[in-house]
Structure 1
Amino acid sequence: MDGLSSLLLPSQKPLFSQHMLTLSEDPALAMAFSVARRAAAVPLLLVNGTYRKTVRSYLDSSILQYQLQRVNDHTSLKGGHAHSRSTLEIPIFWLISGDPLLIDKHYQAKALSNMVVVVQSEASSWESHLQCNGRSLLWDLRSPVKAAMASVAEHLAGLLPLHLVYSVAHESAIEDWTWSVGCNPFSVTSQGWLLSQFQSDTIARSYMITALEESIQAVNSGIHLLRLERTNKKTFKLFQSRERELMNKYKYVVSLWRRLSNVAGETRYGDAMRFLHTLEEATSSFVREVNATVGVLHPIHCTKERKVKVEVDMTTIPAFIIVLILLYAVLRPRAPKPKIN
Structure 2
Amino acid sequence: MDEVNDGGLLLGGQSLSFNHYSINFEDCSICSFAISRSINSYTSRFLFDNYTLIVSEYLDSKRLHQILSDSAEEFRRAAGLPEEDFSKVLPVYVFDLDHNMLLLLDRYHESIAFRDMVIAVRTKIAQTVNDYSCNGRHVFTRTRELERPLVGSILQSMWGVSPTHLSWSLRHNSTLVDYTWSIGQTPFGPFSEISSLSFVQKDAARRNVLLTSLNYSITSAIDVLDSIAAHGGDRNLLKQSQHVQFTQRWNLFRYKLDKAVSALSHFDFKMALFYLRSSDHDLYAMHSFVYHASQEIEASLVCFKDPAFPWASVSLSAFGLLALFYVYGKRDRLFRNKRKQF
TM-score by length of 2: 0.77
Structure 2 distance, partners of 1:58, 1:17, is: 28
Q: Partner of 2:62 in structure 1?
A: 62
Q: Partner of 1:39 in structure 2?
A: 41
Q: Partner of 2:287 in structure 1?
A: 287
Counterpart secondary structure, 1:183: coil
Q: Partner of 1:244 in structure 2?
A: 244
Check whether the contact 1:120–1:141 (CA below 8 A) recurs between aligned residues.
Answer: yes
Give matches, 1:165-314, under 5 Å: 165-230=167-232, 236=236, 239-297=239-297, 300=298, 302-304=299-301, 309=305
Amino acid at match of 1:65: H
Check whether the contact 2:163–2:188 (CA below 8 A) recurs between aligned residues.
Answer: yes
Check whether the contact 2:228–2:237 (CA below 8 A) recurs between aligned residues.
Answer: no
Q: Deviations for 1:305-337, whole angstroms, at most 9, x for unmatched residues?
A: 5x584666599xxxxxxxxxxxxxxxxxxxxxx
Amino acid at match of 2:42: A
Give how far 1:140 is off: 2.1
Q: Partner of 1:16 in structure 2?
A: 18
Q: Partner of 1:89 in structure 2?
A: 89
Check whether the contact 2:58–2:104 (CA below 8 A) recurs between aligned residues.
Answer: yes
Structure 1 distance, partners of 2:243, 2:284, is: 17
Give how far 1:116 is off: 0.8
Give how far 1:223 is off: 0.8
Structure 1 distance, partners of 2:47, 2:183, is: 22
Q: Relative to 1, partners in 2 of residues 1:81 and 1:189: Cα closer, same or farther, differing over 3 Å?
A: farther
Q: Relative to 1, partners in 2 of residues 1:193 and 1:294: Cα closer, same or farther, differing over 3 Å?
A: same
Give how far 1:2 is off: 3.2
Counterpart secondary structure, 1:293: helix
Check whether the contact 1:44–1:129 (CA below 8 A) recurs between aligned residues.
Answer: no
Q: Which residue, 104, 107, 114 being the options, matches 1:105?
A: 107
Q: Partner of 1:325 in structure 2?
A: none
Gaps of 5+ in 2: 312-342
Structure 2 distance, partners of 1:261, 1:311, is: 62
Q: Relative to 1, partners in 2 of residues 1:133 and 1:98: Cα closer, same or farther, differing over 3 Å?
A: farther
Check whether the contact 2:11–2:206 (CA below 8 A) recurs between aligned residues.
Answer: no
Structure 1 distance, partners of 2:233, 2:267, is: 45
Q: Relative to 1, partners in 2 of residues 1:313 and 1:272: Cα closer, same or farther, differing over 3 Å?
A: closer
Structure 2 distance, partners of 1:81, 1:247, is: 42
Counterpart secondary structure, 2:107: coil
Check whether the contact 2:257–2:275 (CA below 8 A) recurs between aligned residues.
Answer: no
Give how far 1:169 is off: 4.0
Counterpart secondary structure, 2:239: helix
Amino acid at match of 1:271: M
Q: Deviations for 1:188-213, whole angstroms, at most 9, x for unmatched residues?
A: 31211111111111112211221111
Structure 2 distance, partners of 1:130, 1:163, is: 14
Q: Partner of 2:158 in structure 1?
A: 156
Amino acid at match of 1:259: K
Structure 2 distance, partners of 1:52, 1:154, is: 38
Q: Relative to 1, partners in 2 of residues 1:247 and 1:76: Cα closer, same or farther, differing over 3 Å?
A: farther
Counterpart secondary structure, 2:272: helix
Structure 2 distance, partners of 1:54, 1:33, is: 21
Check whether the contact 1:160–1:186 (CA below 8 A) recurs between aligned residues.
Answer: no
Give how far 1:251 is off: 1.8
Counterpart secondary structure, 1:65: helix
Q: Partner of 2:32 in structure 1?
A: 30
User: How many percent of aligned residue pairs carry the same amino acid?
Assistant: 20
Check whether the contact 2:182–2:191 (CA below 8 A) recurs between aligned residues.
Answer: yes
Give how far 1:51 is off: 9.4
Structure exhibiting the larger radius of gyration computed from Cα positions:
2
Give how far 1:76 is off: 5.0
